[in-house]
Structure 1
Amino acid sequence: MSRARRPVEVPLDFPREWIEFLDPADEQHLVRADLTWLLSRWTCVFGSSCHGILPGRAEDGCCSHGAFFTDADDENRVKAAVAKLSPETWQRHRRGFKNWTEMDTVDGTKPTRRTATRSGDGPCVFLNDADFAGGGGCALHAQALRDGVHPLKYKPDVCWQLPIRREQDWIKRADGTKLLQSTLTEFDRRGWGPGGHDLAWWCTSSPEAHVGTEAMYLSYAPELTELIGEPAYQKLAELCDARLKAGMVAVHPATVVALATPTMPKRRGGREPASPRPT
Structure 2
Amino acid sequence: MSRSQPPAEVSLDFPREWIEFLDPADEQHLVRADLTWLLSRWTCVFGSACRGIVPGRAEDGCCSHGAFFTDADDENRIKSAAAKLTPETWQHYRRGFKNYTEMDSVDGTKPARRTATRSSDGPCVFLNEKDFPAGGGCALHAQALRDGVHPLKYKPDVCWQLPIRREQDWIKRADGTKLLQSTLTEFDRRGWGPGGHDLGWWCTSAPDAHVGTEPMYITYAPELTELVGEVAYAKLAELCAARLKSGLIAIHPATKAAGTPRKRGGREPASPRAADQGSNL
Please list, as runs of the form range in 1=range in 2, the aligned pairs for 1:56-95 lying within 5 A after superposition: 56-95=56-95
Please list, as runs of the form range in 1=range in 2, the aligned pairs for 1:5-84 lying within 5 A after superposition: 5-84=5-84
Aligned partner letter, 1:127: L
User: Aligned equivalents of 1:163 and 1:244: distance in 2?
Assistant: 21
Q: 1:187 to 1:274 in 2, by over 3 A?
A: farther
User: Aligned equivalents of 1:126 and 1:204: distance in 2?
Assistant: 23
1:266 to 238, 262, 267: 262
| Residues 6 and 51 in structure 2, CA contact (< 8 A), matched pair in contact too | no
Structure 1 residue 179, shift from structure 2 partner = 0.1
SS for the counterpart of 1:166 is strand
Question: What is the match of residue 195 of structure 1?
Answer: 195
| Residues 40 and 215 in structure 2, CA contact (< 8 A), matched pair in contact too | yes
| Residues 23 and 30 in structure 2, CA contact (< 8 A), matched pair in contact too | yes
Aligned partner letter, 1:268: R
User: Aligned equivalents of 2:108 and 2:52: distance in 1?
Assistant: 24
Please list, as runs of the form range in 1=range in 2, the aligned pairs for 1:1-279 lying within 5 A after superposition: 5-259=5-259, 266-273=262-269, 275-277=271-273
Structure 1 residue 7, shift from structure 2 partner = 1.8
| Residues 32 and 184 in structure 1, CA contact (< 8 A), matched pair in contact too | yes
Q: 1:134 to 1:274 in 2, by over 3 A?
A: farther
| Residues 171 and 180 in structure 1, CA contact (< 8 A), matched pair in contact too | yes
User: Aligned equivalents of 2:229 and 2:272: distance in 1?
Assistant: 30
- Using the size of structure 1 for normalisation, the TM-score is 0.95
Structure 1 residue 113, shift from structure 2 partner = 0.2
Structure 1 residue 143, shift from structure 2 partner = 0.2
Q: Residues 186-226 of structure 1: CA distance to partner in whole angstroms, max 9, x if unpaired?
A: 00000011111111100000000000010000000000000
Task: List structure 1 segments (4+ residues) > 3 angstroms apart after TM superposition.
Answer: 272-275
User: Aligned equivalents of 2:18 and 2:107: distance in 1?
Assistant: 30
Structure 1: give runs of 5+ residues left out of the alignment.
Answer: none
Q: Residues 1-41 of structure 1: CA distance to partner in whole angstroms, max 9, x if unpaired?
A: xxxx5421000000000000000000000000000000000
SS for the counterpart of 1:184 is strand
Q: 1:275 to 1:57 in 2, by over 3 A?
A: farther
Structure 1 residue 144, shift from structure 2 partner = 0.2
User: Aligned equivalents of 2:133 and 2:30: distance in 1?
Assistant: 47
| Residues 138 and 274 in structure 1, CA contact (< 8 A), matched pair in contact too | no
Structure 1 residue 157, shift from structure 2 partner = 0.2
Structure 1 residue 266, shift from structure 2 partner = 1.5
SS for the counterpart of 2:272 is coil
Q: Residues 216-270 of structure 1: CA distance to partner in whole angstroms, max 9, x if unpaired?
A: 00000000000000000000000000000100010000000111xx5xx721111
User: Aligned equivalents of 2:156 and 2:194: distance in 1?
Assistant: 23
- Using the size of structure 2 for normalisation, the TM-score is 0.94
Aligned partner letter, 1:227: L
- The alignment covers a number of residue pairs equal to 271
Q: 1:108 to 1:45 in 2, by over 3 A?
A: same
Structure 1 residue 273, shift from structure 2 partner = 3.3
Aligned partner letter, 2:263: R
Aligned partner letter, 1:138: C
User: Aligned equivalents of 2:177 and 2:270: distance in 1?
Assistant: 46
User: Aligned equivalents of 1:272 and 1:129: distance in 2?
Assistant: 17
Structure 1 residue 102, shift from structure 2 partner = 0.2
Q: 1:275 to 1:125 in 2, by over 3 A?
A: farther
Structure 1 residue 274, shift from structure 2 partner = 8.1
